[in-house]
């Protein structure tokens, strides 16, 4: 869900630095809370409701070097807890996890993340209500993005198989991480028995092996490179915003289970669970796998205002989105060209 749909707007002070001191050391691990960190370590950022319990979930893992409570995913610089709780900064309460990938994998962090909370609740986590408590993964590398997307699709399927709702977790590039106040750092170590809002769904998360996650193809730098990679029809649709004839595409009637990817670059776009028969002659979907999987633009080429859908990674043309989809699924119809898609079957 795009941030703008659920974030209230309010003015917050513009700051160039934190308005409060950040502790130098982790109260449990004794390691630095802020960079620089030793070579070979990686950083991950997660939002899963109140950051008190979320931080403890990760500092207990062998291979985690340091953790910190803070704010991520918003637009306000160096916010305070009070400002974030006001709902207008755009930030989620988040945990920064610094880990040694030789001792604990990013996949293991993802598994702990999914199983520790309920990622189907949108703007809340249990009794904690507000956009600051939303479920979110903020990736710090392309490799993390690929695994985060794969894990989201896998856990969404597992929850649906268990009769639960759809995943609402935001998956986005990590912007600046702003440290929370001293009292919030390692809170449940300082206040044993303090509030912990973590409640999982009871559904296990089985991630697909990394070897099963197709590598994203490089984004071509010129039309000439795209012409070499794509067929004539693919180039016409993907790079020149063409449209295939209705009922001519290979995915119009396909019901196979899997993930639909951009044929130009491999970016994951749609899950088969979101596909429906719109009877329009083009494959149609009710939602994308993540909000940033696509980019929406205004298209006025036919003398009317339509919303064009482009790949969020390589900006290739995919189709259009209309507001005549199933109301029970949000009302949107992502009308795609088959030639712009590749189906990775499960």
Starting at the edge strand found earlier in the chain, the sheet holding 268-271 runs 268-271, 258-262, 341-345
Cα–Cα distance between 283 and 258 in angstroms, integer? 14
- Chain position carrying tokens 């040694």: 100
Give long-range contacts, CB 8 A cutoff, 24+ apart: 283-286.
283/249, 283/251, 283/252, 283/254, 283/335, 283/336, 283/338, 283/341, 284/325, 284/333, 284/334, 284/335, 284/336, 285/260, 285/333, 285/334, 285/336, 286/325, 286/326, 286/329, 286/330, 286/332, 286/333, 286/334
Q: Give me the count of residues in the chain.
A: 346
CB 81 within 8 A of CB 180: yes
Indicate if 314 belongs to the active site: no
CB 117 within 8 A of CB 151: no
Buried b (16+ CB within 10 A) or exposed e, 196-205: ebbeebebeb
Can you say whether the dihedral through the CA atoms of 119, 141, 295, 322 is positive or negative? negative
Catalytic, out of 50, 205, 262, 314:
50
Phi, psi at 302, each rounded to 5°: -100, 20
Catalytic residues: 50
């Amino acid at each position: 869900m795009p941030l703008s749909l659920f974030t209230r707007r309010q003015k917050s002070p513009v700051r160039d630095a934190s308005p409060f001191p950040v502790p130098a050391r982790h109260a449990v691990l004794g390691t630095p809370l802020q960079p620089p960190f030793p070579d070979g370590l990686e950083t991950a950022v997660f939002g899963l409701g109140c950051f008190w319990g979320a931080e403890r979930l990760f500092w207990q893992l062998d291979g985690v070097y340091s953790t910190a409570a803070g704010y991520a995913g918003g637009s306000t610089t160096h916010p305070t807890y009070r400002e974030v709780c006001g709902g207008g900064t755009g930030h989620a309460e988040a945990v920064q996890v610094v880990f040694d990938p030789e001792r604990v994998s990013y996949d293991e962090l993802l598994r702990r993340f999914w199983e520790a909370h309920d990622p189907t609740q949108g703007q809340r986590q249990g009794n904690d209500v507000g956009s600051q408590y939303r479920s979110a993964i903020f990736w710090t590398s392309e490799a993390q993005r690929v695994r985060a997307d794969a894990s989201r699709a896998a856990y969404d399927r597992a929850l649906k198989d268990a009769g639960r709702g759809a995943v609402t977790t935001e998956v986005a590039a990590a912007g600046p991480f702003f440290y929370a106040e001293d009292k919030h750092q390692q809170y449940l170590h300082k206040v044993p028995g303090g509030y912990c809002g973590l409640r999982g769904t009871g559904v296990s998360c089985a991630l697909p092996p990394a070897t099963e996650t197709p590598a994203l193809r490089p984004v071509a730098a010129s039309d000439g490179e795209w012409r070499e990679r794509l067929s004539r029809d693919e180039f016409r649709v993907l790079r020149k915003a063409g449209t295939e004839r209705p009922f001519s595409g290979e995915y119009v009637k396909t019901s196979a289970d899997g993930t639909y990817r951009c044929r130009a670059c491999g970016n994951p776009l749609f899950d088969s669970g979101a596909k429906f028969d719109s009877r329009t002659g083009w494959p149609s979907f009710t939602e994308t796998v993540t909000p940033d999987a696509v980019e929406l633009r205004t298209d006025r080429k036919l003398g009317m205002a339509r919303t064009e859908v482009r790949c969020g990674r390589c900006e290739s043309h995919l189709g259009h989105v209309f507001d005549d989809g199933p109301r029970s699924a949000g009302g949107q119809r992502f009308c795609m060209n088959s030639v712009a898609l590749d189906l990775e079957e499960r």
